Structure 1
Amino acid sequence: MIEARPLIVRLRNFVGDTVLSLPALRLLAQHGYRLELVGKGWARGLLEAEGWPVHVRPGGLRERVEQLRELRRRFKAEDPGFDRRANMLLFPYAFSAALDARLAGLQAEGHAGDGRTWLMRRGHLRRDGRHTLVEYWELACDFLGVQAEPPADIHMKVSDAQHEQARALLAAHGVAPGRFVLICPFANGKVEFLDRSWPAFPDFVRRLHAAGRQVVIVPGPAEVAGAKQLYPDAIRLDAVQLGVYNALLQGAGVVVANDTGPAHMAAGVGARLLSVLGPTDPARWAPWGTTVTVMRRWPGWPSVDEVRSAVDQALP
C-alpha cells in the first residue's frame, strides 16, 4: 500500500517564482501527494532542505517528453490509479508545458489560457489582481478542491549543513554573523522596458563601507564581473550554491535587494529585507512575508539616505 500518491509538478523557470510556489507545494503535500518536481538544475540546491526530489528538465522536446514518460511508467508501477486521475500540475503558463505533458500521456492540470486548455485534463481560472504567491496558492486549492488562506510567511527551510557552510564562508572572510548587510543589487530583465535596478546602489554601498559597515555580495556566475567593477568595497562570495545562499540571507543583519530572485529567497527564509522597488508592481511581485519592508517611490526611487536610515534602524 502506498503512503502518498505521486504527483508530478512542473516548476517555473525562475528562482523567485519557485520560492513563491512553496506554500502551494506544501499544501499539495499536506493533502496526501508525494511531490516529484520537474525544473531547472538550480532548483535542486534551492529546495534541497525541503526534501522533495527535483528532476532536471532537459532542453529538447523529445528529451523532455521521454523524461515525463519515464516518470509516468515508474509511478504507474507504484500506483495503479496513477493514470486514472490528475497526475501532473503545471505552474508555468506556457503552451509548451501542457504540450510536453500531453505527449507524455499525462493527465495534467494548470491555468487555462494560451490556447492550451484542450491539452490538459482540466484548466483552472487565472484570477486577476492577485499576488503571484496567491495565484499559485489558488491553483493548488482549485486542483485539490479546497478553500484556504495562504500563510503570512513562506518559512523556507534551511538545513544544518547549509548553515554550517555559510558560517564557514563568513568566518573565512572575517564577517561577523548577524551584523553584516547582504546586498542583492542585480536584476535580470526589465519591467515595461524600464530597468528594475536601483541606480543609487553603488553609491549606497560606498557610503555603507565608509561608515564601517560590512557589506557582503553573492553574485551569480554572470554577475561576478559586475560585482568586481561596481562593488569593490563589498566582500564577494563567489560560486555559492542556492541552498547555502539561503543560509547566508537568513544570517544577515539586514538584506537590501532589487526586484530579483534572491530577494524572494530572503523573504522566504525570514530574513530582515529592505525591498527597493522601481517599476515593479508590488501588489503582484513584492517579496512575501512579515519581515519585508517595501521601499518604493515610483516614478522615482528611494534616496540613499532613506535606505541607509532603514539599515541603521535594523542594525543599531
Structure 2
Amino acid sequence: MIVRLRNFVGDTVLSIPALRLLQSHGYRLELVGKSWARGLLETEGWPVHVRPERLGERVAQLRALRRQLRAQDPGFDRRSNTLLFPYAFSAALDARLAGLRAEGHAVEGRTWLMRRGHPRRPGRHTLVEYWELACDFLGIDEPPPPAIGLQVSEPQRERAAALLAAQGIAPGRYVMICPFANGKTEVLDRTWPAFPEFVRRLNAAGRRIVMVPGPTELEGARQLYPDVVRFEGVGLGIYAALLQMAGIVVSNDTGPGHIAAGVGARLLTPWGPADPAVWAPWGPTVKLLQYWPGWASVEEMLAEVDQALP
C-alpha cells in the first residue's frame, strides 16, 4: 500500500508506530514524503519515494507507483490502497487524480475524494491520532505503544562515533542541544529565550556541547553558539545516532526533540506555548519543564544537566 507521510520531521517520527502497525497486518509499505525521511527511516526498510513539488509530477509519481503495485498484486485496485497522514485537501486530490483508493481523516471537505474518511478525534496526542487512523483503516482497536523505539543503523552509529572521536568527545559525556524551533504556535515563539545564556553557562562549567544545525540554521548557530561543536550537513539518520549517544539532549519544541525521544535519549525540554497533551515528545525518557506564559530558569535546566552528567 501507499502511505503519504507528512512534511515535518516530528510528525514523521510520531507516525512510526502506526506504520509498523500497518506492516504487522501484512501490508508492504511504499512511503511518499520528503527526502530526509530516507535516512530517518533507514532501519525500517520501507522504500521512500521523494514527493515532487509540482502537481503534475506528483500525480505522475503516484500513477507510476499504482502501476507497479498493481502488476505485483492484481487485487491492488479492488481495495483501499492508500493512507493519507496529511490533513491537506491536496493530499486527497493527488491520490484521486492518480486513481488511487485512499483513506484519511475526514477534514478540509475532502471526503468525497477518498474511498473512506475517518474522524479526527479531538484532544488526542498526535502520535495517538496517527495510530487511531491506522486502527480505523484496519478495523481494529489497540492501544499505542509506550515508546517509539526508533532504531539507527550500524553505519549511522559508526559515522556518528567517528565525528565525535575527531573532536575528542566520548559517547555519553556530552550535552546535545537543539536550540532552534522553526514555526510558531498561535503566533507565539516556541524557542526558549534563555538558550544562549544556558549554553554559555554550560561552557563555563566545562561541558562538551554538540549541535547539528539545519540548512537554515547555520548562520544563527555560528553567531549564537560559536563555542559549540557543530556538525554541519549531517543527515537525519546520523543525527539520530548522535542524539542517542548523548548524555542528555536539551531541545526546544522541535523535530529533533521528537527524534531524541524516538531513539530513547534522555531528553530535557523547556516547553513553551504548545499543548504538551498534543505535541509533547513521546516516550519514558522525556522530561518537560513548562511554566507558560513563563519559561524554565537557566538554573533549573543546569541542575537537570548536572544530574544527568555528574
Give the structure 1 partner of residue 200 of structure 2: 206
1:150-184 C-alpha deviation (Å, 9 max, x unpaired): 00000001111100000000011111210100000
SS of the equivalent of 2:30 reads: strand
Q: Which residue of 2 aligns with 1:126?
A: 120
1:282 corresponding residue in structure 2: 276
Q: Which of the numbers 59, 69, 76 marks the counterpart of 1:75?
A: 69
Pairing 1:38–2:32 present: yes
Does the 8 Å contact 1:49/1:243 carry over to 2? no
* Residue matched to 2:305: 311
Paired with 2:240 and 2:177, the residues of 1 have a C-alpha distance of 13
Contact 1:256–1:273 (8 Å) recurs in 2: yes
Instruction: Report whether the alignment pairs 1:294 with 2:291.
Output: no
**1:33 partner SS:** coil
2:160 aligned residue (162, 166, 169): 166
After TM superposition, give the deviation of residue 121 of structure 1 in Å.
0.2
Distance in 1 of aligned mates of 2:260 and 2:294: 24
Aligned AA (1:172):
A
Determine if contact 1:205/1:233 at 8 Å carries over to the other structure: no
Which residue does 1:16 correspond to in 2?
Answer: 10
Give a deviation string over 1:33-53, Cα, whole Å, max 9, x none.
Answer: 000000011111111111110
Structure 1 segment 27-66 matched on structure 2, within 5 A: 27-66=21-60
Q: Partner amino acid for 2:228?
A: A
Q: Please give the secondary structure, in 2, of the residue aligned with 1:229.
A: helix
TM-score (structure 2 length as normaliser): 0.99
Q: Percent identity?
A: 74
Cα distance between partner residues in 2 of 1:285 and 1:276: 13
Q: Which amino acid aligns with 1:15?
A: V
The alignment of Structure 1 onto Structure 2 pairs a total of residues equal to 310
Match of 2:85 among 69, 91, 94: 91
Match of 1:154 among 148, 154, 160: 148
Query: What is the aligned counterpart of 1:194 among 188, 192, 205?
Result: 188
| 8 A contact 1:68–1:104 mirrored in 2 | yes
Contact 1:257–1:273 (Cα < 8 Å) also in 2: yes
**Secondary structure of 1:221 counterpart:** coil
Matches within 5 A, 1:106-145: 106-145=100-139
Quick one: which of 181, 184, 195 aligns to 2:175? 181
**C-alpha distance in 1 between matches for 2:113 and 2:157:** 43
The aligned amino acid for 2:102 is A
What is the CA–CA distance in structure 1 between the aligned matches of 2:172 and 2:131, rounded to whole Å? 32
TM superposition shift of 1:276:
1.5
Query: What whole-Å deviation, never above 9, does each CA across 1:252-308 have from its counterpart, x for those lacking one?
Result: 000000010000000000000002111111000000000000111101000000001
CA-to-aligned-CA distance 1:168-207 (integer Å, 9 cap, x gap)? 0001111121010000000001111111000000000000
Q: 1:239 aligns with which of 218, 233, 236?
A: 233
How far has the Cα of 1:131 moved from its partner?
Answer: 0.3
Q: Does 1:220 align with 2:214?
A: yes
Which position in structure 2 is the counterpart of 1:3? Answer: none
CA distance in 2, matches of 1:115, 1:300: 38
TM-score by length of 1: 0.97
Is the Cα–Cα contact under 8 Å of residues 275 and 287 in structure 1 kept in the other structure? no
- 1:105 pairs with 99, 105, 108, which one? 99
Equivalent residues of 1:65, 1:104 under 8 A apart: yes
How large is the Cα RMSD of the aligned pairs?
Answer: 0.5
* Residue aligned with 1:158, SS: coil
Name the CA distance, whole Å, in 2 between partners of 1:33 and 1:166: 32
Letter in structure 1 aligned against 2:48: V
Tell me, in whole angstroms, the C-alpha distance in 1 between the residues paired with 2:14 and 2:241: 18
Counterpart of 2:28 in 1: which secondary structure? strand
